């Protein structure tokens, strides 16, 4: 089967599945005349029917159609043997009637059992065009098994179902406005406030952790009195580290009018030793003079 034709058949069968509730495996009613037509070209009828409906099938045949094959005798014994492998569908006809009439009774006015019909009778196919949701398979003039397009009744029923679903959805969405809220039919309060979010995001600043810290500026050295005070303070710190103490009289600073102590340097160890030697020498000289 060509790929384009297979896609078309798949879409058609999807229509029957979605609108009328068909499901796998499809229940396929096969007429005796389709079996007779397939025997002319010695084809595998079950495999071809699967390709046409694009899915698994459950082939069925009625007792009246089987009686029509039995009436042909041994000439069509091979076809009868193939039909015996199909599921036998009870038609509740006590006496056998024409196979096409039997199939028409099985389908009825609504095709409630969701049959797929395979029939070669033009009269039967024409009489069943008003039944919605009935896929029909037949051989065309070139001997190819084809699926008929959906009938007008089928399209009308499909549009009707879609309209009912649309109206049902609108009825479910309808509500009574109560102040700022909308009360749905199931007594569920739905806020009438607009949903926040979804707007344009604001531009954010840079990451503070990734920014460089500002370096603190070192103040320039001050001139004048402040520089002298700094030098004196540094000098004091050096003297204190060397162990120098401060002694002396108070000195008055004329510019500031405050008393300041005069600082004297402590004698170093060497100076003390020299002074001690001088004192001893002086004592020795005084002793010699007395003698």
Pairwise CA distance, residues 130 & 104, whole Å: 12
Domain end call among 121, 156, 191? 156
The reply to whether 250 and 116 lie within a common domain is: no
The reply to whether 14 and 139 lie within a common domain is: yes
Domain end call among 123, 156, 189? 156
| Domain assignment of residue 119, yes or no | yes
Q: CA torsion angle for 22, 26, 27, 33 (degrees, to 10)?
A: 120
Looking at the DSSP bridge assignments, the partners of residue 116 are 28
Q: Is 188 left (phi over 0), alpha (psi -120 to 50) or beta?
A: beta
Pairwise CA distance, residues 118 & 145, whole Å: 9
Structure tokens at 220: 């320039």
| Domain assignment of residue 133, yes or no | yes
CATH code of the domain containing 125: 3.40.50.1010
Backbone angles phi, psi at 202, to 5 degrees: -80, 155
Q: What is the pTM of this model?
A: 0.57
**Per-residue pLDDT of the chain in tens (291 residues, 90 and over written 9):** 688 888 999 999 999 999 999 999 999 999 999 999 998 888 899 999 999 999 999 999 999 999 999 999 888 899 999 999 999 998 888 888 999 999 999 999 999 999 999 999 999 999 999 999 999 999 999 989 999 999 999 999 999 988 888 887 777 666 544 444 555 555 555 555 555 555 666 777 788 887 777 777 776 665 554 555 566 666 666 655 555 444 444 444 444 455 555 666 555 666 777 787 788 777 665 555 544
The reply to whether 269 and 148 lie within a common domain is: no
| Domain assignment of residue 95, yes or no | yes
Query: Residue 132 burial by CB count (10 A; 0-12/13-18/19+): exposed, middle or buried?
Result: buried
Alpha-carbon separation of residue 226 from 82, 233, 258 (angstroms): 123, 10, 17
CB contact at 8 A, 219 and 234: no
Domain end call among 156, 184, 203? 156
Pairwise CA distance, residues 211 & 283, whole Å: 80
| Domain assignment of residue 187, yes or no | no
Backbone angles phi, psi at 182, to 5 degrees: -115, 120
Domain encompassing residue 27: 3-156
Pairwise CA distance, residues 234 & 21, whole Å: 103
The reply to whether 133 and 258 lie within a common domain is: no
Would you mind telling me the total number of residues written for the chain in this entry? 291
| Domain assignment of residue 218, yes or no | no
| Domain assignment of residue 217, yes or no | no
User: What is the count of structural domains for the chain?
Assistant: 2
The reply to whether 144 and 244 lie within a common domain is: no
Structure tokens at 157: 């029923």
CB contact at 8 A, 35 and 82: yes
């Amino acid at each position: 089967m060509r790929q384009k034709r297979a896609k078309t058949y798949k879409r058609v069968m999807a229509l029957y599945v979605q609108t009328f509730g068909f499901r796998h495996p499809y229940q396929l009613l096969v007429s005796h005349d389709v079996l007779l037509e397939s025997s002319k070209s010695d084809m595998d009828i079950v495999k071809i029917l699967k390709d046409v409906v694009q899915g698994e099938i459950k082939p069925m045949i009625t007792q009246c159609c089987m009686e029509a094959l039995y009436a042909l005798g041994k000439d069509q014994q091979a076809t009868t043997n193939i039909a015996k492998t199909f599921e036998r569908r009870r038609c509740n006809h006590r006496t056998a009637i024409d196979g096409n009439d039997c199939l028409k009774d099985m389908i009825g006015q609504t095709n409630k059992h969701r049959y797929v019909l395979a029939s070669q009778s033009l009269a039967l196919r024409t009489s069943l065009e008003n039944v919605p949701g009935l896929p029909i398979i037949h051989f065309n003039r070139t001997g190819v098994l084809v699926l008929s397009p959906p009938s007008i009744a089928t399209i009308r029923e499909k549009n009707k179902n879609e309209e009912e679903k649309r109206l049902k959805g609108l009825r479910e969405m309808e509500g009574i406005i109560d102040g700022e809220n909308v009360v749905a039919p199931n007594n569920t309060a739905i806020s009438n406030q607009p949903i926040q979010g979804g707007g344009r995001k604001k531009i954010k600043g840079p990451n503070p952790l990734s920014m460089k810290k500002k370096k603190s500026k070192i103040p320039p050295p001050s001139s004048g009195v402040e520089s002298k005070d700094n030098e004196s303070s540094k000098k004091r710190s050096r003297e204190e580290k060397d162990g120098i103490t401060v002694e002396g009289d108070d000195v008055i600073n004329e510019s500031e009018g405050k008393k300041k102590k005069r600082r004297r340097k402590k004698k170093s160890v060497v100076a003390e030793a020299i002074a001690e030697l001088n004192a001893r020498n002086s004592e020795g000289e005084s002793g010699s003079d007395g003698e």
